[in-house]
Structure 1
Amino acid sequence: MDGTDPVADGADEPDWEPGLEDDDSGSVVAAVGRQIKLWRTGAGLSQAELGEAIGYGENQVYKVEAGKRIPRPEFLDRADEVLGAGGKIAAMKEDVKEARYPKKIRDLANLEKRSVELGAYGNHNLHGLLQTKEYARALYDMRRPTLSPRDLERYVAARISRQEIFTREPVTALSFVQEEVTLTRPLGGRMVLRRQLEHLLEIGRLRHVEIQVMPTDREDHAGMGGELQVLKLRDGGTVGYVSGQLTTRLFSAPKEVQTLELRYGIIRSQALSPRESLAFIEKVLGET
């Protein structure tokens, strides 16, 4: 492979610039870079020689070793083989994978991975696990202050990566209650909304997923305090998760979690049933 290949050389990869919320990720990336440098110098290779051997440019190797760029999985695999690391470099792929995404999203994703049951109520846009890539990109593109193109793509990739929860085994029981307005607000445009509604119908037909719609004309509504999420974990514990304009908060105290569970249960009872909700989404799709 030519070391100047734009993909192999990481031309589509962002340089790593850790922010305040990503200081731990910056440490991981820097540690991986130091390990690669130690193995490279131990093998008596220059950065250019290693790059040529694994199909990457010298500049890419320099930036990875300096902790300025997150290495791709194939970079680590090839470096492991060429440097004779016996799997020690390749083993860092999971740590690097986690470091690619913002910390608060990694933390939530880790909770989701540990959950056997997840319930979420959303009132202003569709829940992240339900979003198509185009819908998620439209949401992040609307943020003010604006995100840089690099950060926008990181957030979108992180959100979509969490959706493996729908296909992994053992399955997680998933339920979502969405306000009616989230099904009709054309974020990103009409075509983005149409594809999003089609996606909702696909997900809503999975046996371990239930999607419910909260009609706008409901006179009683337990969700006036805002969106919430409740996760029951494999170890028997339960946590609550809420997010606002500038903050997110995790609740683990039994009394607080019990309050969120109670609210979510009442919200579900006030919404349309899952069967009625799918029919409602089909109707909205037909009118979009």
Structure 2
Amino acid sequence: MTVEADTDRLKSEADEPGWEVDPDDEWGVAVITTVGRQLKLRREAVGMRAAEFGTVVGYGEDMVYKIEGGKRIPRREYLDKADEALDAGGLIAAAWEDVKKVRYPKKVRELGKLEAKAVEIGVYECNIVAGLLQTPEHARAVIEAAQPPYSPDDVERMVAARLARRSVFERSPAPALSFVLEEGVLRRPIGGTMAWRQQLERLLEVGRLHNVVLQVMPMNCETHSGMDGRIELLKFADGTAVGRADGAFSGRPTSDPKHLRILDLRYGTIRAQALSPRESLAFIEQLLGET
């Protein structure tokens, strides 16, 4: 890729939605404001004007001012190029670890922190493919289908946040993960045929991992203990846990031992009623062949 093409790409990316700072996210605002202030101080310390700096990093002068003013979330490429241009020795580039989290909604960040610490995660999902299992195309189709519709900026922010949670599959030691999905959900081609084939292939890929148990709840089951809705259970190394269910405790997260026992019972019963892991993977393979 030529320098001109690379510069045009960065300028184009700078205008994409999903990189605005959420004014209601106090932590996010603080991070981006601090990073922007440091960028400005370092730029001025080396005697470089905003326009000149923008040329060096491949962005327009207006975008430089937005980032330095804490109005725009800088991309990783921007921070890397700024680090090099300002001879920061990696200090600016290192800010990406905090900056990238600002794109994610506050609730998703909190959920991601819990998932990152959990040694066991169990999810029963009745209306969609569980977020941890979604492909980028499927996640976008699901989020864009919401009514009233989200803004393009919010869609990009939510897609990025959902995909970031998939890092749970890369953890070492690996957590024990189990999922129960409804057959009806697996027959609904959200996003179109190609996107849906990719989603089914992703389910097969994840379902074959040594630390993952993936099950399908068949439509012809005569007894179903998951009619009240979604259930999620997270258990931690210290013996504590947190759970949430649509049809229990006002849908709010709970750590109450009595509540957790109820959720554990419901989830365990649902797993017993679903197809076995082997039968479930065979069923998904069959669906993929029919798609």
**TM-score (structure 2 length as normaliser):** 0.88
Q: Distance in 1 between the 2:4 and 2:199 partners?
A: 40
Distance 1:73 1:243 in 2: 37
The residue aligned with 2:287 is 284
Matched ranges for 1:49-198 at <5 A: 49-198=52-201
Using the TM superposition, give the Cα deviation of residue 143 of structure 1 relative to its aligned residue in structure 2, in angstroms.
0.6
CA–CA separation in structure 2 for the residues paired with 1:241 and 1:90: 37
Distance in 2 of aligned mates of 1:97 and 1:53? 22
Decide whether aligned partners of structure 1 residues 188 and 248 sit closer, same or farther in structure 2, where only a CA change above 3 A counts. farther
Identify which of 198, 212, 228 aligns with 1:225. Answer: 228
Q: Deviations over 1:68-109 (max 9, x none)?
A: 111112222232333343433222111101001111122111
For residues 117-136 of structure 1, the C-alpha deviation after alignment (integer angstroms, 9 at most, x for no partner) is: 11100001110111122111
Which blocks of at least 5 consecutive residues in structure 2 are unaligned?
none
- Structure 1 pair 148–248 and aligned structure 2 pair: CA distance change class (3 A): farther
Q: Is residue 129–residue 159 contact of structure 1 (8 Å, CA) maintained in 2?
A: yes
Does residue 1:207 correspond to 2:214, yes or no? no
- In structure 2, C-alpha distance between the alignment counterparts of 1:253 and 1:132, rounded to whole Å: 33
AA matched with 2:29: G
Aligned to 1:16: 20
1:6 alignment counterpart = 8
**What one-letter code is carried by the residue in structure 2 that aligns with 1:145?**
P
Does the C-alpha gap of structure 1 residues 242 and 60 become closer, same or farther in structure 2, counting only changes over 3 Å?
A: farther
Q: Secondary structure at the match of 1:158?
A: helix
Distance 1:19 1:139, change over 3 A: farther
Cα separation, partners in 2 of 1:197 and 1:53, compared to 1, 3 Å: closer
Question: Percent identity between the aligned chains?
Answer: 53
Residues in 2 aligned to 1:80 and 1:194: alpha-carbon distance in whole angstroms: 41
- 1:268 corresponds in structure 2 to 271
**What is the CA RMSD across the aligned residues, in angstroms?**
2.3
Task: Tell me the equivalent position of 1:40.
Answer: 43
Q: 1:47 to 1:242 in 2, by over 3 A?
A: farther
Structure 1 residue 265 displacement after superposition: 1.2
The whole-number CA distance in structure 2 between the counterparts of 1:58 and 1:185 is 46
Gap runs ≥5 in structure 1: none
The alignment of Structure 1 onto Structure 2 pairs a total of residues equal to 285
Of 175-184 and 25-34, deviating more is: 25-34
Give the corresponding residue for 1:256.
Answer: 259
Aligned CA distance change for structure 1 residues 285 and 86 (closer, same or farther; 3 Å): closer
Q: Distance in 1 between matches of 2:167 and 2:68?
A: 31
Shift of 1:62: 0.7
TM-score (norm 1): 0.89
Query: Is contact 1:230-1:239 (8 Å) kept?
Result: yes
Structure 2 Cα separation of the partners of residues 46 and 152 of structure 1: 34
- Distance, in Å, in 2 between the alignment partners of 1:4 and 1:139 is 32
Structure 1 pair 248/221, CA: closer, same or farther in 2 (3 Å)?
closer
Higher helix share: 2
